[in-house]
Structure 1
Amino acid sequence: MSKVECQLCPHHCKLNEDGIGFCRARINKSGQIVALNYGLITSIALDPIEKKPLRRFLPGSSILSVGSFGCNLRCPFCQNYEISQAGFEEAYARKMSPESLIENALELKGQGNIGVAYTYNEPLVGYEFVRDCAKVAKKNGLKNVVVTNGCFCEEPMRELLPDIDALNIDLKGFTQKFYDKLKGDLETVKRTIQVATEYSHVEVTTLIVPGENDSDEEIRELSQWLATVGKDIPLHITRFFPNYKMLDRNATEVAAVYRLADIARESLEYVYVGNC
């Protein structure tokens, strides 16, 4: 049997029968690429919406946050690497259908829950589950939020976005050199941001990693470009702490985070600092 190419993200993994993609969450089954992690929930919690982070989308509300396993990037500073870098064999998960997840979300409305946030790992490597849950949530009057690295192809994003109310998209940096280290593609992420703003509320997060993406020039270019998409798109400049494969690095200096936030404010109306 010939290989089948996954069309979800720029890796375009070509998989033999039972072959698993770079993301560890997609598999070739009988000539079709399907989500190996469909309905497998590793993390679930009721979070403040600001934790996503979303600062200008229904502030003060809570949202049921769910995660699975897998990711199509390899960030050495990942805070959730136990699930993002896990595969089927390593992930401890429970099975939930879209209907049961949305039932849980509805039961939490009395605690201020507005919907479901697909987050923690990279949710879109489990595209089909997010898509199916989002449709059920929408029918029940709930909001859908996606927290993503944005490294996904335009066609599947356009199919999903009509059911998504808000996104926080990681813009890891503003050079392809940095994205090469993460196994990602800058232009794809930029396009995702552009497309997402046509459908949904969008906020952007950049984690400032010392010595990697922390120059004044890079943040100035990043914020100037983001302003061409929308000057009112909120940008979250967040502080790095040693984690995963970057335990040898120092945390970003607080003063540097505030300085870079001020530079971003030259171009953008809403800039927030995080982890400080």
Structure 2
Amino acid sequence: MDNETRFSLISRVGEEIVTEDDLKQLLLDKKNPVAYDGFEPSGNLHIAQGILRAININKMTEAGCRFKMLVADWHGWANNKMGGDLDRIQTVGKYQIEVWKACGMNLDSVQFIWASEAAQDDSYWKTVMQIARNSTVKRIVRCSQIMGRSENEALQASQILYPCMQAADIFYLKCDICQLGMDQRKVNMLAREVGPKLGFWKPVIVSHHMLMGLGEPPKGGADAVERSIAMKMSKSRPDTAIFMTDKEEDIKRKINKAYCPEGISSDNPILEYCRYIIFERLQKLKIERPKKWGGDLEFESYGELE
């Protein structure tokens, strides 16, 4: 596969790439760059975390990337997931790996690494400390959205440590590409800023699209990133999320209640699922309708559907 095709494939994953020139140079320099994502084991997975994650990682590995998935059990512990019970967090981490296997993630080029293993290495904590020493508290607090927290919340001390850990993960794992969601952008930018100061490199950021929840999107003038975070599918709004363990009747109920205004394609969750999931896996979409409403419809691409 030539580098132009590799770049095009990765660009299909990245809603934003920082920077495109850096990515092109990386692909020239390395046949198999290392990309990474970290996931905090925090409960049941929804389809954005399960199916879409597998689709995106498969594109990255097809483009030649070796992918490292960090099971961020200590990060989840710092963020008080599962009631702060590390054993339960690790059980959830094992469950999530099995979900990705069932979703068809190509594991030939994927390595799962546990944060609890990195935590046994003094060099990891040295990098955490270096990042903390080169960052202000204000800068770190601005990264709190990576944990699903607001800058205005009263954070525990462990949650202040979290962004420093996540930035350190990138260098500890020797990652060339940060391939996480748009909601993780701030800490990835922190890594680009402090990396050269510490003798490391500037990782390329390939931020994937965050799938919408099924509810009506919020109105208002928030910036694009903040708005996409507000709209994303979330476990905290379970009736607007489709979980990997949902029964068929639950999925039908949620879909039937979904926000899907006629004739509007922007910010339309049903069309998003068609674009990012259905047409990534299927060559054709058939919509069955009674003859009195015009009969069945078939679409062979998202563009045709839109």
TM-score range for the pair, normalised by the shorter chain length: 0.3 to 0.5
More relative contact order in 1 or in 2 (CA 8 Å, sep 6+)? 2
TM-score by length of 1: 0.34
TM-score by length of 2: 0.31
Q: Whose strand fraction is larger, Structure 1's or Structure 2's?
A: 1
